[in-house]
Amino acid sequence: MNAKIIILIAIIVILFSINKCNSSQNNLASKSIQGSTTDITHIGERENKFTRWLSSKEYQSRFKNKSAFYKRHKSYPAYIEMDTLGNRRIIDIPYEPRFYWRCTSARSKDEFKKIHIKETLNRGKKLLSLSIINKDGIDIYTGTWVSEDVFERESKKLKKFGISPPEFLE
């Protein structure tokens, strides 16, 4: 009898988890996503905040030991743009202690979905910014996630540069 109860509880937990995944805003399988929008009225502030365009090699070197680089500079990459050649430019925002971030670039839609689900459902982060480019007919995703509890604060910082968080569409 105890085994039946345990199996029943396990089934309920699994069904609840599946339902949570399916109804969550973070599920990209049933929703499409629109990248961060940029407000033209803030183009000057935004352009002044971007790093220069970094080659893929320079970008990889910068992120090889991202913790040391960003701790030393007391910032994190809040928004990253990539061009069709693989060059990237970054808006670094001052880093305030006690929150976690993750960024990824040059990902296919399927790769991005997997990372997004992992970061949001398993690690409690929200997608702060997303840049999407089309290269040779394929969408390439570059995004930054931050801890859910600092999302609003960090979104306001990006708004000063005319960058809005991505939107999930039905």
Q: What are 127-158's pLDDT values in tens digits?
A: 999 999 999 999 999 999 999 999 999 999 99
Share of the chain above pLDDT 90, in %: 52
Burial tier of 52 (Cβ tally within 10 Å: 0-12, 13-18, 19+): exposed
Report CA Rg, the chain.
18
**pLDDT for 10 beyond 80:** no
Q: Six-digit token pair at 118? A: 């992992």
Q: Would residue 7 count as lying in a domain?
A: no
pLDDT at 21 over 70: no
Q: How many domains does the chain have?
A: 1
Nearest-CA neighbor of 166 among 69, 47, 78?
78
Do the beta carbons of residue 78 and residue 89 sit within 8 Å?
no
Indicate whether 20 belongs to any domain.
no
Contacting residues for 30 by C-beta, under 8 A, at least 6 apart: 22
- Percent of the chain predicted with pLDDT > 70: 79
Q: pTM for the full model?
A: 0.78
pLDDT band at 71 (very low <50, low <70, confident <90, very high): confident
The range of the structural domain enclosing residue 54 comes to 27-169
The answer to whether residue 54 scores a pLDDT higher than 60 is yes
